[in-house]
Every structure is written in C-alpha cells, then in structure tokens.
Amino acid sequence: MQNDSFIEFKRVSFGYGDRLILQDISLKIDRGQLVAIMGGSGSGKTTLLRLISGQIRAQEGQVLVDGRDVGRMNQRELYQHRRRMGMLFQFGALFTDLPVFDNVAFPIREHTSLSPQMVRDLVLMKLHAVGLRGTEALMPAELSGGMARRIALARAIALDPQIMLYDEPFTGLDPISLATIALLIKKLSDALGTSAVMVTHDVHKSLEIVDYVYFIAGGKIAAAGTPDEVRASDSPWVHQFIHGEADGPVHFAYPAQQSLAGSFGLEGA
C-alpha cells in the first residue's frame, strides 16, 4: 500500500454567510488511514466532511482528494467523485419501504449495469462483511437499531469506496452494538484499504480504532496526534476533552468564537 496522503486540506477556510467556521485548516489523511475528527458541538466537523464530499466548496484554500481539487470539480466530476465515496451518517436511514436486499443493492443498481446475478452476489458479500447474511428479506422495521446501522454500513461499502465518511456512526447505539460497529469500521477500513474520516463524540471508542485524531476548536486544528500521543498529551485542552470534564478551557455549550489553539499554545500540536 502506498503511504501518501489521499485527502489533503491546504489552508482551507469556509464560512456560512459572514460566519467563519473553518479557518486556515491544513491536514492530511493517508491512503488506508482511519482518522477521527473531534471537537465541541458546532465546531465545524460535519462542515469538514461536506467539503470532502463536495457538497460545499472552500472559500479559500484547496481540498484535494487523490490530488484533485474538489472545489473546482464540475457536476460530472463531482458525480464520479461521490461514486468513489461511501457515507454512513447518524441519520442515514434505510429506505423503509424496501427490504434489506434492495437497500444494499440500491447504489449498485444506481451506479453500475451489473447483471442481477452479479448484484445478488455483491449484496450477499456485503451483508456477509457486516455479519448479517440471511437478513436480506427483512424490512427495516424488523431490524434493531444496531442491525440497521450495520445494513447502512453494508450499503455504504457496496461499491468498494476509496473514501469512507462517517458522521457520528455510534450515536444512539447500545454499548454492544456500538462496539460491533466500531470493530466493523476498523475491519472494513483495513480490508478495503479505504481512507476514512470519522466525526465522532465517542472519544474512548474512537481512540481504540483510529490511526490519527484531529481536534477542531475555534475554526482551527487545536491539537492532533496518534491515539497514544493524545492519551499522553499534557495539554489541558486535550485532557479536558478526552475526559469529558465540564470545567476547563473547552466550552462545550457554545461554538468557540476564537482560536483556543492560540490561547493554549497548541497551534500545530
């Protein structure tokens, strides 16, 4: 596997209207890497994912995927770009009126002209990958929350994506389902060699499975490192964040208005 960056933010700034959300962000995600993005509520984590998928364009700087600037892609290029991408969102619900089989088959039918037999083989393979072979005839209403999330994961990987974007994949799951999904995310990332970006509030579970973590605060990268570096960090900011303490430099209730990185000497940490 090549060890070069597949996703790269080069001095990216983005705002909704006049409100600057991300400011001069630079980061790199290597091929095959699983990276977590963490930060307080409203810090711009989902915005960062939208920049990668091309739903929004950077106002300054570049978002490069496989060397190509997502912000400069035309409609046709964006369509191709998204075809290489799998997404699992907290509210990425299944189509409730379609059985599991058709839910997983949906992107395959939409984006390829494979024969029904091939579609069937692929669907069964993906269901097997998430440990839910045998559920193809069930309707979404017949699934538990954890199973539904795994079926959504099977659908997200149906086309063997090169990039996976996860937005709060653990939210609303019981501890066992959460551990199962986390393990699957890790296993699939390794098996498929995808570059994966995961926005999450679940610090402890994420640190068990990711290769690298970026913390966002005040529109900037407040800290970054491998899980071991993060755990060993003596930064009060990181310490407060990973221990979920209410008091400290992080304001959980409101989006930070100015760079905490600067205030705590964490710039480029």
How far apart are the C-alpha atoms of 144 and 117, rounded to whole Å?
A: 28
How far apart are the C-alpha atoms of 235 and 249, rounded to whole Å?
A: 10
Helix, coil or strand: residue 220: strand
CB of residue 147 to ligand ATP, shortest distance in Å: 24
Backbone angles phi and psi of 164, in degrees to 5: -120, 135
CB of residue 259 to ligand ATP, shortest distance in Å: 15
Give strand ranges (E) for 31-77: 34-39, 60-65, 68-69
CB of residue 254 to ligand ATP, shortest distance in Å: 9
Instruction: Tell me whether residue 48 or residue 185 sits nearer to ligand ATP (CB atom).
Output: 48
Report the interface residues with ligand ATP, using CB under 6 A: 16, 21, 39, 41-47, 255
CB of residue 23 to ligand ATP, shortest distance in Å: 12
Instruction: Tell me whether residue 69 or residue 168 sits nearer to ligand ATP (CB atom).
Output: 168
Instruction: Tell me whether residue 21 or residue 25 sits nearer to ligand ATP (CB atom).
Output: 21
Q: What's the burial of 152, exposed, middle or buried (CB within 10 Å: 0-12/13-18/19+)?
A: buried
Backbone angles phi and psi of 244, in degrees to 5: 60, 35
Instruction: Tell me whether residue 200 or residue 235 sits nearer to ligand ATP (CB atom).
Output: 200
Instruction: Tell me whether residue 14 or residue 101 sits nearer to ligand ATP (CB atom).
Output: 14
CB of residue 256 to ligand ATP, shortest distance in Å: 10
Side chain identity, residue 213: V
Side chain identity, residue 229: E
